Amino acid sequence: MKIPFTKMQGLGNDFVVLDAVTGSFVPNPAQVRFLADRHFGVGCDQLLVVEKPGSPEVDFRYRIFNADGGEVEQCGNGARCFARFVTDAGLTDKREIRVETRCGVIAPRLEADGQVTVDMGLPRFAPAEIPFVSDSDAVIQPLAAAGREWMISVVSMGNPHAVQVVGAVDSAPVAEDGPLIENHPRFPRRVNAGFMEIVDRHAIRLRVHERGAGETLACGTGACAAVVAGIRRGLLDTPVRVSTRGGELSIAWSGPDTPVLMTGPAVTVFQGEIELPEDLS
């Protein structure tokens, strides 16, 4: 079966985008893994499926699958690429698009300069699915494993993030500690592990070991979670420039009960089609 796709990237976090509005194919986990494979498939960190809306209150639904085949709740860089995709494909003429995800409705807006701003909704600090409780509202919990101690802030942007402050991201133990945190039993649905270096009160550098994908060049929800954690810990003031290995995002958050706003680029790399092996199930 030949599958048309669009390859996109947001700060080097890359995506295979499938149009299930005019098409109808939604991949199973084995097919996601094949399409995401950088040697035998197209290659991507996540696969995005754009679908017709499930209700009249939204314009589209958008589903997100990690390279490991798992479907997840949210993707920040993917939301910007989604908005660019539906606009360039002529599926909408709106500048502000309401799209349903597994964790609720978000609203990407295309800016005049080609960047995309996304209202990422309200952050949560002690999501029920992560059994971290603390009497302080800043959910900071020492997490000991392999003899190392991490002080972690747990923040949900719909998807779970475990963020810590490091002295220098370039030498942070992302490869060693990222998988340990991702798969730690304290996170029953696993977690994205963020490592942030405070540059000043309006700037950080960030690396993220992503759940289901490994370290990516940028993580949009990870940038939102890091800024929320930094502001709650009294280390940052809104807005914050987030420098990732793939480029820069701007994140604004005015405090509890207000949404996180993320602004950054979204780029179409190429379009193509690929023959899907019949035996993937």
Catalytic sites, residue numbers = 75, 219
Contact of 151 with 163, CB cutoff 8 Å: no
The reply to whether 220 sits in an annotated binding site is: yes
Q: What is the residue whose two structure tokens read 């949009």?
A: 220
Strands 71-72 and 99-101: unpaired
- Largest Cα–Cα separation, the chain: 54
Binding flag, residue 220, ligand API (CB under 6 A)? yes
Question: For residue 171, what is the DSSP state?
Answer: G
Site for ligand API in 161-200 (CB under 6 A): 192
**Residue span binding ligand API (CB under 6 A) among the ranges 106-114, 126-134, 212-220, 252-260:** 212-220
Binding flag, residue 210, ligand API (CB under 6 A)? yes
The reply to whether 76 sits in an annotated binding site is: yes
Task: Give the x-and-dash track for 59-98 against ligand API (CB under 6 A).
Answer: -------x-----x--xxxx--------------------
Looking from the CA of 149 toward its CB, the CA atoms found within 13 Å total 4
Strand partners, 164: 195
Binding residue (CB under 6 A) for ligand API from 6, 141, 156, 159: 159
DSSP string, 198-234: EEETTEEEEEEEETTTEEES--HHHHHHHHHHHHHTT
- How far apart CA 103 and CA 121 sit, in angstroms, is 10
Quick check: bond before 239 cis, omega within 30?
yes
Task: Give the x-and-dash track for 31-50 against ligand API (CB under 6 A).
Answer: --------------xx----
When the beta carbons of 141 and 221 are compared against ligand API, the nearer one is 221
Under the phi-then-psi rule, with left for phi > 0, alpha for psi from -120 to 50, and beta for the rest, what region is 28? beta
CB of 115 to ligand API, least distance (A): 15
**Residue span binding ligand API (CB under 6 A) among the ranges 50-58, 81-89, 144-152, 215-223:** 215-223
CB of 259 to ligand API, least distance (A): 15
Binding residue (CB under 6 A) for ligand API from 84, 207, 211, 232: 211
The pair of structure tokens assigned to 134 is 């603390």
The reply to whether 210 sits in an annotated binding site is: yes
Binding residue (CB under 6 A) for ligand API from 3, 8, 9, 13: 13
**Residue span binding ligand API (CB under 6 A) among the ranges 82-90, 104-112, 204-212, 234-242:** 204-212
The footprint of ligand API on this chain (CB under 6 A) covers a number of residues equal to 20
When the beta carbons of 86 and 213 are compared against ligand API, the nearer one is 213
Q: What is the residue whose two structure tokens read 């020492």?
A: 142
- How far apart CA 13 and CA 258 sit, in angstroms, is 26
Strands 71-72 and 192-200: unpaired
Residues that bind ligand API (CB under 6 A): 13, 45-46, 66, 72, 75-78, 159, 192, 210-213, 216, 219-222
